[in-house]
Structures are given as C-alpha cells and as structure tokens.
C-alpha cells in the first residue's frame, strides 16, 4: 500500500490533454495536497519540500476508468463452480482483484453487479485504507426478472436459489432500487435482456417490460443515482434507452434506430469487445457452459461490428471491459481492440478518462490532467497516440495524491 501522501514534482517526457489530444512536451506536474497545482511545459525546478519523480520516456495520462467490472468475481470460476462461492469468499477475491486493477492504471471503476453487497464491503475497505484499490462506484446486486440473466438459473426447482436482485413488477423494482440504495449502492444496474453467461436465457430477448424499466430509472434518478442496463438484444436496448438509462452495457445487436435513439437521449454505450477472446479461448476450462460458448460464437462478432457503427455515428462511448469474466489486470488489453474496431487512439483514451468522468458526474474532479483536479494519474512508457498497446503496461500510478504503483 502507499506511503503517507507527500507533495510531488513529476518530470515526464509528455502529458496528454485528453480533451484536445495535444501533448505537453516535456512536462512538469506538481501535486499539492492531493490536487494538481501546476502543469507546465519544461522540466522546471520548484522550491519547497517536494519529492521529485523522474519519468524519462513516459507519457502522463489521467487515471483510467473501467465502467464495467466485477471485482468480486474470479475469471477461473464460472458456471457451476460459482455455486461453491460464498459472498464472503467473493469479497476476498475482490481484494486481490482491486490491487491488480489499480496496478493496471485503473483508478476508478464502476462495479456492475456483485453477490451479497461484496462490492460495497470492498469499496469501504479501500476507502478506509485497509487494502489498495481503485475508487469504486458500486451497484450491489443487479436487478433482474425471475429466471432472467441477473437471476441464478443453475439449479432445478427443488434446489433453486433466487438471486438477491430479482424483482418483478414496477413497485417491486422500485423497492429493490430503494433497498440497494439503503445498503450503499452508488449506481443501479439491471438486466434488460438475456445474456451469454447465464443458463437458459435467450441473449437477444428482452427482459423487463417498458413499464418496469421506466420504474427502475425514475426511482434511481429521483434519488440521484445513475442507471446502467445490460442489453444485448435490439428491443431491450431501445426500451432501456427510452426508459432513460445513463448507459447501455454490451449493446451487441444494434440497429440504426437504436443508434438514433442513443444520440437523441444522450445515452452512453459501454461495449466489452475484448471479452469474447477470453470466453472463446479460455472459457471452457474456467467452467463456462457449452450453451454460453455457443451464444458467444454469435454475439462476439456482432458486437464488434456494432461497436464500429456506434463510433462512426458519434454515440458517446465509455470503456467497459466486464473484467471478472476475464482476468482483472488485463483491462488495458481492450484499448487495442477499440482502435482495431473503429476508434482513433485518442477516442479510445477519452472513453477511459474524460467521457466516463462526465457520465459519473465526476468531471470537475477527475478525467483530465488539469490544475485543481485530483492528483489522479498514470504514466506509460512511450506515446499511446502512436502505439495504443503501451496501455497494457502501466509503470506508475498516483491516486488521490498518493503513489500507489511504482514500477519504473
């Protein structure tokens, strides 16, 4: 874990202004009391009691956001193996994964779905300084219909369990939103369609009626929370957007009308386009069901094509990986895929910095390297605008003014 916060002077080759795409070259960044107090061209000396950090060959970037993770899930434990895991065990898995995530340069994450409020326990432990990790915007259990993607359908009716977030009907879903808020949720997640990794759900089929989705979103917004909807299927994507969700997750089967609706409503898309490589490559060993592998064979390619279309149409895009399905710490691998399937390097970096900070209403404090914002930044070797794969190896991480990772 990090030492006591000291004021810092950082000398690096460059710093990226993610808003304009301009590099400040070379750069001095000064940290006072957990805030960026100066950022200027050149390697100037500043008088006072500072720790000076030299980062030759490195580019500074804002701390990264991953808007879709499951920190308390283990990528080696899928399908029936999950039935062996308690929520207490999941929280301990989360301790390991939080550290790996921070080491990968992700200083903020949105955790979209966890068993037994394990994500909220983890968030509190990080906040209290007991364990290292990113700042977590946590959902608690995802809301879902009986038998849907966010329920647990692995067992027969004699042994069946019902997932904690299951609620059917407009008032039941409102009550569930209130319950999650009561126990510490920062954001509401619900499942608007079937999914890949659930047993017995049709990935394209809508779950929840328009009326239920409207109720979820209006209740969450009333209380000042944002809403993320899992949706692969076209109709579910559209209903979620019409209900007013802040972001749609996965967004695999996109059509022109859905794109138009997203643009009209200002909805963000969070598309986990690296995930398919892990699921199809390693998933079987990890316990992913054959039925899910078959669904993935259809979804993966469609989602990547949809990603390119959404980018081209100018939909607001945020970086969301669904890490937890695949190993935490590998989050950065998605950057190169985002470029391969339609983004510029700068767009991919914006999707993991200023855009998610805006979605989470944190853009006054986070998301770009600016005087007055939190000292929350990373360093990578080389220039990510020229070679995006440098984002897979982060050398240096400062979160809230504290050095959390130093692998120079």
Q: Binding residues for ligand ARG, per CB under 6 A?
A: 195-197, 250, 272, 275-276, 279, 296, 299-300, 303, 322, 325
Q: Closest approach of Cβ 343 to ligand ARG, in Å?
A: 16
Q: Closest approach of Cβ 281 to ligand ARG, in Å?
A: 12
Q: Which is nearer to ligand ARG, 268 or 374 (CB)?
A: 268
CB within 8 A of 314, min separation 6: which ones?
A: 263
- CB 348, CB 319: distance < 8 Å: yes
Q: Which is nearer to ligand ARG, 62 or 300 (CB)?
A: 300
Q: Which is nearer to ligand ARG, 145 or 299 (CB)?
A: 299
Q: Which is nearer to ligand ARG, 82 or 221 (CB)?
A: 82
Q: Closest approach of Cβ 230 to ligand ARG, in Å?
A: 7
Tokens 């790996």 -> residue: 100
- CB 100, CB 128: distance < 8 Å: no
Q: What is the DSSP letter of 374?
A: B
Q: Closest approach of Cβ 2 to ligand ARG, in Å?
A: 32
CB within 8 A of 59, min separation 6: which ones?
A: 12, 13, 14, 15, 16, 23, 379, 380, 382, 383, 384, 390
CA of 194: how far to CAs of 7, 13, 205, 250, 254, in Å?
Answer: 49, 47, 6, 11, 15
Q: Closest approach of Cβ 275 to ligand ARG, in Å?
A: 4
Q: Which is nearer to ligand ARG, 151 or 402 (CB)?
A: 151
Q: What are φ and ψ of residue 46, in 5° steps?
A: -125, 130
Q: Which is nearer to ligand ARG, 110 or 250 (CB)?
A: 250
Q: Closest approach of Cβ 204 to ligand ARG, in Å?
A: 11
Report the C-alpha gap between 213 and 211 in whole angstroms: 6
Q: Which is nearer to ligand ARG, 296 or 404 (CB)?
A: 296
Q: Which is nearer to ligand ARG, 352 or 380 (CB)?
A: 352
- CB 79, CB 63: distance < 8 Å: no
- CB 339, CB 348: distance < 8 Å: yes
Give the residue closest to ligand ARG by C-beta. 195
Q: Which of 155, 2, 190 is nearest to 79 (CA)?
A: 155
Q: Closest approach of Cβ 82 to ligand ARG, in Å?
A: 13
- Is the omega angle on the peptide bond into residue 364 within 30 degrees of 0, that is, cis? no
Q: What are φ and ψ of residue 404, in 5° steps?
A: -100, -30
Q: Which is nearer to ligand ARG, 250 or 328 (CB)?
A: 250
**Residues in a beta bridge with 326:** 323
Q: Closest approach of Cβ 222 to ligand ARG, in Å?
A: 28
Percentage helix, strand, coil for the chain under 3-state DSSP, each rounded to 5: 35, 25, 40
10 Å Cβ neighbour count for 257? Answer: 12
What is the torsional sign of CA 111, 115, 119, 122?
Answer: negative
Q: Which is nearer to ligand ARG, 181 or 298 (CB)?
A: 298
10 Å Cβ neighbour count for 365? Answer: 14
Q: Closest approach of Cβ 195 to ligand ARG, in Å?
A: 3
Report the C-alpha gap between 49 and 6 in whole angstroms: 9
Q: Closest approach of Cβ 102 to ligand ARG, in Å?
A: 23
């Amino acid at each position: 874990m990090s030492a006591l916060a000291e004021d810092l002077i950082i000398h690096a080759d460059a710093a990226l202004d993610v808003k304009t795409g301009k590099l400040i070259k070379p750069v001095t960044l000064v940290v006072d009391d957990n805030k960026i107090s100066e950022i200027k061209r050149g390697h100037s000396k500043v008088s006072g009691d500072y720790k000076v950090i030299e980062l030759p060959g490195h580019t500074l970037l804002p701390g990264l956001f991953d808007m879709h993770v499951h920190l308390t899930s283990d990528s080696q434990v899928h399908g029936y193996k999950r039935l062996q895991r308690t929520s207490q065990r999941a929280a301990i898995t989360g301790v390991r994964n939080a550290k790996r995530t921070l080491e990968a340069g992700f200083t903020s994450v949105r955790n979209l779905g966890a068993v037994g409020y394990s994500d909220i326990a983890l968030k509190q432990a990080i906040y209290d300084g007991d364990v290292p990790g990113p700042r977590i915007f946590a959902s608690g259990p995802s809301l879902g219909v009986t038998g849907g993607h966010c329920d647990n359908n692995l067992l027969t009716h004699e042994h069946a369990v019902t997932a904690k977030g299951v609620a059917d009907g407009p008032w039941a879903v409102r009550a569930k939103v209130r319950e999650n808020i009561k126990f510490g949720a920062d954001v509401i997640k619900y499942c608007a369609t079937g999914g890949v990794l659930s047993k017995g759900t049709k990935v394209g089929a809508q779950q929840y009626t328009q009326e239920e989705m409207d109720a979820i979103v209006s209740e969450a917004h009333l209380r000042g929370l944002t809403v993320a909807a899992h949706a692969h299927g076209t109709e579910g994507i559209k209903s979620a957007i019409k209900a007013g969700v802040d972001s749609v997750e996965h967004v695999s089967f996109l059509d022109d009308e859905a794109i138009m609706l997203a643009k009209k409503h200002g909805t963000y898309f969070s598309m986990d386009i690296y995930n398919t490589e892990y699921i199809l490559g390693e998933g079987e060993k990890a316990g992913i069901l054959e039925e899910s592998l078959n669904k993935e064979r259809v979804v993966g390619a469609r989602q990547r094509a949809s990603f390119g279309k959404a980018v081209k149409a100018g939909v607001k895009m945020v970086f969301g990986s669904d890490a937890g399905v695949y190993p935490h710490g590998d989050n950065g691998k998605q950057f190169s895929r985002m470029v391969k399937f339609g983004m510029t390097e700068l767009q991919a970096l914006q999707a993991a910095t200023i855009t998610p900070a805006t979605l989470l209403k944190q853009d006054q404090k986070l998301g770009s390297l600016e005087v007055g914002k939190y000292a929350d930044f990373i360093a990578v070797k080389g220039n990510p605008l020229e070679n995006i794969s440098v984002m897979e190896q982060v050398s240096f991480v400062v979160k809230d003014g504290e050095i959390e990772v130093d692998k120079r």
